[in-house]
Structure formats: C-alpha cells, structure tokens
Structure 1
Amino acid sequence: MGGIMVYEERNAWAGLIVSPISMVVYIVLILQQAGGGPLTSVDWFPLMLWVIGGSIVAVIILSILWGMVAGAKDPDGVGRSDIRDRDISRMGSRVEQAFVVIAGLGVIVLCAVGADVFWIANTMYAGFAVSALVGGVARVIAYRRGLV
C-alpha cells in the first residue's frame, strides 16, 4: 500500500480493512447471544443493524483519517479522480452486483423451502458482506495492476 493513493483507492482499502472485522464481530455477537442454543432464537436484527451502522461509521472515519494523512503528504492530489477511477469503480460495482444476485437467489431458495427468517436475513447479510469484500479486492487489484 505504498505511495500516494487516490480517494477511491483509499476507500476501497478502508472497506477491505473494516468489512472482515465487522463480519467477525457480527458472528461472535450472534454466537454469544445464542449461548450454545439455536441460532434462530437470537434477536439478530438489532445486532445486524448496529454492526452495519458501525461498519459504515468506521469506514468513514478511517477514510477521513487516511485522507488527512494523504493530504499532508500531497495536498494537491488528495481528492483527484479521473476516468480510470470511474472505470475501476464501475468494474468493482459489477463484481459486487454478481455476489448480491447470488445472495438474492439463495434468499429465494430459502424462502421456497420455508427456512427461518434468521437464515434468510443472514444469507442476504452475508451476500452484502461478501459482495463488499470481493468488490473491494477487485478494485484494489485494478488500482495495483490496472484494468484488463
């Protein structure tokens, strides 16, 4: 991660740092609440909302702090973006959409078989989380190696 990064690349890295941490935090909280009992008995909704909200805030704070450091090093280039940034963003969004579609299909199947709402909601949450993670990886690779 050496060198000066553009705003969009810093955001991709911030998401890659925060996403896995938030996924682990959510899983740990769910398992703690279950206390060895059935996961479907956990009051998952508030936990999910807090983790999602906390993740968003953490990415914003990390991006701001990282931007301040970058701005101190290169005041003129800190907020610049160009067509390459837009192309990388579009490519990352397409990768993310593929994983959201896969999660959506999983949710449809779970609904069809009458799965508990816990599994339905958490499948979608996992889809969003994996989507963000894979999209961030795709963006960072594109910044480091270029678009193919």
Structure 2
Amino acid sequence: MSSEEKRSWIYLVVGVGVYAVYFVVVLSQVPGADVARIAYVRPMLIAIGAGIGLGIVANIAAAVASPKEAGRTDERDRQINRLGDYVGFYVMSIAALVPMALAMAEAAHFWIANALYLAFVLATVVSSAVKIVLYRRGF
C-alpha cells in the first residue's frame, strides 16, 4: 500500500469517526429541543480541531512506520489524488448549496453551521473513498 493510499484511508477514517462522535454528542440533543439553545459551537470547533490534529498525527505515525515509502509518489499517485480532489470539490460545491439555501430561508444558525460542517465532511469522505477505489480497482 502506497503512502498516498494510507493517507486516503486516514482521512476517511478520521473524517467519519470525528463526525460520528460530534453527531452523537450534539445532534442527538435535537429531538424535542429548541436548537437555538443547543451549545454546538464549542463541540464543533473541538471536532474540527480534533479532525485536523488526528489527521496530522496519523500521517506522521504512518510515515514513521514505513519511512522508505513516506513522501514517495509517482504519476499514478498524482493522477489519483487529482481525480479524488476533483470529485471532492464537486461534492463540496453541490453540498454547499444546502447551507446557502438555509441562510436564504433564514433558518437557525445551528442548521446552517451543521449543514456546512456536513458538507466539508462529505467532501473529505467522498474524495478519500474515490481515491481508495481507484487504488484498489486500478486507474
């Protein structure tokens, strides 16, 4: 497994894992609650910071575990990375329409912020999944 494929797996697992924890902590409070009273800002900032931090630490650990592979990329890795990033860009572009529509509809800040956070997570997860599929099935 190349270092770039490992990186894609790391981003996929971290993205899904951190969002799942955030979902359980914050969004489980929504049923029967006034969303204006739900404290979501601090947990969201912690989740974003944790995602970034865990991604960095996991990438460093992967590089230390196999130092000969770290940073080595070839043309195939670059093409897979480029295609995965393109797909992630399109997912983000389409998913960003939801928070925009919520803002235009003057929805609660809670829903706008969570829709935007979900758009970022979806873009990361889809981009990573596309890269993994390309590595596994061939490019």
TM over 0.5: yes
Percent of aligned positions with the same letter in both sequences? 33
Given candidates 2, 5, 9, the residue that maps to 2:5 is 9
The corresponding residue for 1:43 is: 39
Q: CA RMSD in A?
A: 1.8
Given candidates 103, 110, 113, the residue that maps to 2:102 is 110
Q: Distance in 2 between matches of 1:93 and 1:28?
A: 28
Q: Distance in 2 between matches of 1:104 and 1:64?
A: 31
SS in 2 for 1:8: helix
Matched, 1:137 2:133: no
Q: How many residues align?
A: 139
The corresponding residue for 1:120 is: 112
TM-score with structure 1 length normalisation?
0.85
Q: Is the 8 A contact 2:35 2:108 kept in 1?
A: no
Structure 1 position 27, deviation (Å): 1.0
Q: Distance in 1 between matches of 2:55 and 2:88?
A: 17
Q: Distance in 2 between matches of 1:52 and 1:146?
A: 32
1:55-66 paired onto structure 2 within 5 Å: 55-66=51-62
Q: Distance in 2 between matches of 1:94 and 1:39?
A: 34
Q: Is the 8 A contact 2:10 2:59 kept in 1?
A: yes
Q: Residues 89 and 52 (structure 1 numbering): CA distance in 2 closer, same or farther, change over 3 Å? A: same
Q: Distance in 2 between matches of 1:80 and 1:141?
A: 20
Q: Is the 8 A contact 2:15 2:51 kept in 1?
A: yes
Deviation track 1:14-35 (CA, whole Å, cap 9, x = no partner) reads 0111111101111122146669
Gaps of 5+ in 1: none
The structure 1 segments of at least 4 consecutive aligned residues displaced by more than 3 Å after TM superposition are 31-36
